Amino acid sequence: MSARSNILRAAIVVFLATGTAHADKLPRSVDGLYCWQSLDDNRVHYMRIDENAPCAGSGNSAYIDGIHYANGRGIECKFVKVKKILKTVYQVRNRCTDPIRGPKRFFTEFKLELLSYGDFQITYNED
């Protein structure tokens, strides 16, 4: 093997090793319990709540942590890719399961925009 190919291989290994280490993450401030409300076919508003809120535990509740989403309807998603695209906007790709429909597995992708008061809004990508 030539010295040039060894350098190229080493550069590839370093790139692959550090590429995943520098992946963006949602800020910890997003972690918590929410009620959600559809705004239209592509947008959903999430309002931060506590466990005593009227929607807590209902189908319109959701819990989010740094790597996971679960709603009151039983759908669970793992954030498989998060990319910060603006100061308060993230592109998020999820791998989800819906136990009510099967269990059905599917992917979703949306933009998550941080709003005031700990709320956020997601906008699903149009197909």
Between the two ends of the chain, the Cα-to-Cα distance in Å is 47
- Give the span between the Cα atoms of 31 and 114, in whole angstroms: 12
- At 100 the pLDDT is 85
For the chain, 127 residues long, the average pLDDT of each consecutive 10-residue run is 43 40 81 94 94 87 92 93 96 93 88 93 84
- At 35 the pLDDT is 95
